[in-house]
Amino acid sequence: MSRGLPGPVMRVPDVDVAIPTIGRPSLTVLLDALGAQGFAGRVFVVDDRRERSTPLPIPPGASLDVVVLRGTASGPGAARNIAWRASTATWIAFLDDDVVPEPEWSAQLLVDLIDAEGAAGSQGTVRVPLSSKRRPTDWERNVASLETAKWVTADMAYRRAALRALGGFDERFPRAYREDADLALRTLARGWRLTLGHRVVEHPVRPAPWHVSVTKQAGNADDSLMTRVHGRAWREAAGAGGGAFAEHVVTVAAGSVALTSAVLGRRRAAGLAAAVWLLLTGSFVRRRVAPGPRSLAECSAMVVTSVAIPPAAVWHRLRGALRARRRDRSGRPAIEAVLFDRDGTLIVDVPYNGDPARVVPVAGAREALDRLRAAGVPIGVVSNQSGVARGLLTEAEVDKVNARVAELLGPFDVVALCEHAPDAGCGCRKPRPGLVRAAAHELGVPPDRCALVGDIGADVGAALAANARAVLVPTPLTRADEISAAPVVAGDLATAVDLLLGVP
């Protein structure tokens, strides 16, 4: 019997989840939900707390492959960058730590990503549960606006290739506000598509103080940055609405004129300005009270915060306009040299290998090194080779292997080796700083202008001990505690070089 040709092959996309967190208890609920669904990818949890004296609320014995990474307490955008750079998956699904995926979320995510063929990103649907027995409060209405917002990272997946090309989230946005719209607008500006999927997460309204609407005005600083980066038409492009800022400016101006005129004894001008201020403030109060509950507590809060919001909004917008002039994202010193661990980082790790024929480069190693060479950045190798002291290797064999590495990966500006035994007490064996300092000295570069890329904690330790930057590129042999302790984690050598070159 003849058989027909097979139809198109549907490939299930590989996807990891990234969750920045400040340690809220809701993280446990989220991880339990993903575990119950049998999510198969890795879950990168970025601990972005300033104080880490208590453990994260990660459920014990979770069936998930959870990788905890150390954040920099610089905001969710920076934390998400740490997560996606540590991943090697094709797709990264970003979730907030206070959402709850519906039972079929994991399965529907894969369907959405298959449907997103050719697109750079896929947005999920956010539902905010509200009481059916009363009108929502001002804060509840604020949270409920997530249901119609575009590209919110409460549930948003991006291709890792797109994130690499765009440089990820702009870390100048320090709040969970506008950093997602900025990334989406930069994506669309490249001519790439963003799609809307069918997966659903629930976003409960968490408790907030009565004055939360005033503290939220800090987001106006991010609006200033959006204007500087994307132009004045960014609100329409991002579906952000017009906002009430223009009215706030008039309200503040009227209040200022009233106070100034009163001080100068100009009663008529003070009275007219005060009337304008009172009219605008009263209108603002009515608009905020009308759709909500009419309780005394809610109405009182609306009156007080409606007086405070306009000056707070104007202040933060002005502050943001001044800060938006600073274009540099990182503020870190330029890297003048990059050092690499050898085994497990540049070549496949073969313990105590003295045979050049067994040298196999790690995928992408030659391309990554060539990019540094093309940028004029000196490169070197720093490697522990204790096999010599143990009698398992000869110096000649080590030299032959290094020659083969250079033949396959190109020349290095310096090669620094420690051939001592682990118990020799030398200062050069990683994680001690000797190798890094020696290589930096040979290159004529201060150690704090060097970076070391490696695959284990000893590489990170050596870099930090020498006051150099450290980038960890994990392998299956890298321990979880080494990953969580590393200041910077990259999923592969290409991403590590992107970070060090500052590629957007």
- Would you please indicate which residues are annotated as catalytic (active-site) residues? 341, 343
- Write the CA distances from 367 to 71, 252, 282, 415, 498, integer angstroms: 29, 57, 64, 19, 12
Long-range (24+ apart) CB contacts under 8 A made by 387-391 are 387/352, 387/354, 388/419, 389/419, 389/420, 389/421, 389/424, 390/352, 390/421
Residue 210's SS3 state is coil
> 154, 95 in Cβ contact below 8 A?
yes
- Paired tokens of 419: 């051939």
Residue 311 phi, psi dihedral angles, 5° rounding: -65, -35
d(Cα 175, Cα 186) in Å, to the nearest integer? Answer: 18
Where does 334-455 have alpha helices with state H? 365-374, 387-390, 395-409, 434-443
Give the residue from 409, 413, 411 showing the smallest Cα distance to 368. Answer: 409
Give the residue from 370, 381, 372 showing the smallest Cα distance to 344. Answer: 381
**Cis before 431 (ω within 30):** yes
d(Cα 277, Cα 250) in Å, to the nearest integer? Answer: 8
The residue whose two tokens read 């970076």 is: 451
Question: Which residues, listed in sequence order, are joined to residue 475 by a DSSP beta bridge?
Answer: none
d(Cα 89, Cα 161) in Å, to the nearest integer? Answer: 10
The residues, ordered by sequence, that sit 6+ positions from 69 with a Cβ below 8 Å of its Cβ are 44, 45, 46, 47, 82, 83, 86, 483, 484, 486, 489
Percentages (nearest 5) of helix, strand, coil residues in the chain: 45, 15, 40
